[in-house]
Amino acid sequence: MSQKNEIPNFFVYGEPSRALDVGFLHVETVMDRKTLHFGHVASHKHPSMGQITYWYKGGGHYRIEDRTWNFSAPTISFIPSNIIHGFEVDDQSDAIVVSVSDDTLKALAPQVDLSLDMPTFLTGRPEDPSWQKLGVLLEMISFEYRERGGQSEKVMLGLIGVVLSLMSRLGGSAALPSASPTVTLALSLRSAIDRHYKSDWPVGRYVELLATTPHLLDKACREVFGLTVKEMLLERRLLEAKRLLMFTIRSVEDIGREVGFEDPAYFSRFFRKRMGEAPAAWRRRNLERGPAGRDGEA
């Protein structure tokens, strides 16, 4: 088994990976989990969510894929899903960690200036006004989550979008760490699927678009995402269907067509096989739960 297949997947650090609800958000500090890691967070990844980590005190060593930085506060990073990362810090260090589901990041992407497909790692100076703004924004996000949870979802999403755009202004586009060819190819595939999944392209079209071979593309997809290319395509269509069911009033048939299923019965079977219930029943159950039910547990 390759090393990448041995890298653990977590929900939040130390907790087994699980399916995320649509619109998932979670905010905590690194030291909230001090008893699990004692400042030494082993290399890991999150299958379905990206993370903003803002170090407001202390410092240490941070790893993203095959690169390591020595850092001190203030430092901020954005790590997309399935990117390997970890760190070592002393017990005087702490950071605010904002975890955001992939479906939420996809909705935010057109509104922010930072690329959300690649990791970003930035360090600054405490006296820099732009970094002071970042600190205030992250404190606001943390406060909103603590005090209002899922009922503050729109406010938190607005603040998260501002943070990501400000990171771009501070040099995000120039600060992307190099990734292995396998990771780069897998992330390029994910970006291509986002653009073309509604067109129901066969795998061969993605192979041509990315100028690779079927073997290399499938290998990269399996190593980084744990899925075949075909499974990635189906998962992306499922994700969009869930978003539309949750956040719009469009009919199930219309949503099925939107994500590439002309036959409503086939769409219903596809959805039931993966979610355990029909689209209408899934929508009804999740709407009854409301925003608070979709929010993460502290």
Pair (126, 265) in one structural domain: no
Q: Are residues 123 and 257 in the same domain?
A: no
- Burial of residue 273 (CB within 10 Å: 0-12, 13-18, 19+) is exposed
Say if CB 114 and CB 165 are below 8 A apart. Answer: yes
Instruction: Say if residues 78 and 52 touch (Cβ distance below 8 Å).
Output: yes
CATH of the domain at 41: 2.60.120.280
> Cβ contacts of residue 247 below 8 Å, gap of 6+?
22, 23
Secondary structure letter of residue 73 according to DSSP: S
Quick one: 85 and 59 in the same domain? yes
* Cβ(25)–Cβ(100) below 8 Å: yes
Q: What percent of the chain lies above the pLDDT cut of 90?
A: 46
- Asked if residue 219 belongs to a domain, the reply is yes
Q: With respect to residue 295, please indicate whether it lies within any of the assigned structural domains.
A: no
Pull the structure tokens for residue 201. Answer: 């392209």
How much of the chain, in percent, has pLDDT values that exceed 70?
A: 86
User: pLDDT of 46-98, one tens digit each?
Assistant: 888 899 999 999 999 998 876 788 999 999 999 998 788 899 999 899 999 99
Say which range, 26-40, 182-196, 281-295, has the weakest mean pLDDT.
Answer: 281-295
HSE (side-chain half, CA atoms, 13 Å) at 183: 20
Question: Does residue 297 sit within a domain?
Answer: no
Same domain, 142 and 15: yes
Instruction: Give pLDDT tens digits for 253-273.
Output: 999 999 988 899 999 999 999
Query: Per-residue pLDDT for 280 more than 50?
Result: yes
Q: Are 27 and 48 in contact (CB under 8 A)?
A: no
- Claim to verify: residue 136 and residue 219 sit in the same structural domain: no
Q: What is the pLDDT of residue 288?
A: 73
Which of 2-16, 39-53, 170-184, 267-281 shows the lowest per-residue confidence on average (mean pLDDT)?
2-16
Radius of gyration (C-alpha) of the chain in whole angstroms: 19
| Same domain membership, residue 285 and residue 255 | yes
pLDDT of 191: 85
* Cβ-contact 76, 54 below 8 angstroms: yes
> Both 192 and 251 in a single domain?
yes
Whether 75 and 115 share a structural domain? yes
Q: What is the pLDDT of residues 94-136, one digit of tens each?
A: 999 999 998 889 889 889 989 888 889 999 999 999 999 999 9
Strands laid side by side in the 120-123 sheet: 25-29, 94-101, 49-57, 75-79, 120-123
Same domain (yes/no): 100, 153: yes
Give 225 or 144, the one with higher predicted confidence.
Answer: 144
Helix (H, G, I), strand (E, B) or coil at 32: helix
For the cut 80, the answer to whether the pLDDT of residue 15 exceeds it is no
Question: Considering the domain boundaries, does residue 107 fall inside one?
Answer: yes
Please report, as a single letter, which amino acid is at residue 160: I
Cα separation of 19 and 29, whole Å?
Answer: 22
Amino acid at 287: L
Q: For residue 235, what is the domain's CATH number? A: 1.10.10.60
Question: What pLDDT digit, counting tens, does each position of 143-202 carry?
Answer: 999 887 766 778 899 999 999 999 999 885 444 555 678 888 988 898 899 888 888 899
Residues 85 and 32 in one domain: yes
What mean pLDDT is reported for the chain? 85
In a domain, 298, yes or no: no
C-alpha distances out from residue 218 to 8, 137, 206, 214, 297, Å: 20, 40, 11, 6, 35
Tell me how many domains the chain contains.
2
Same structural domain for residues 109 and 236? Answer: no
Q: What span, in angstroms and rounded, lies between the C-alpha atoms of 139 and 258?
A: 38
Query: Where in the sequence is the domain holding 228, given as residue range(s)?
Result: 181-290
Asked if the model's pLDDT at residue 290 lies above 90, the reply is no
Distances (CA, A) of 239 to 101, 121, 221: 11, 28, 17
**In-domain check, residue 264:** yes
Residue 69 lies in a domain: yes
Q: How far apart are CA 263 and CA 104, in angstroms?
A: 28
User: Looking at the domain assignment, is residue 56 inside a domain?
Assistant: yes
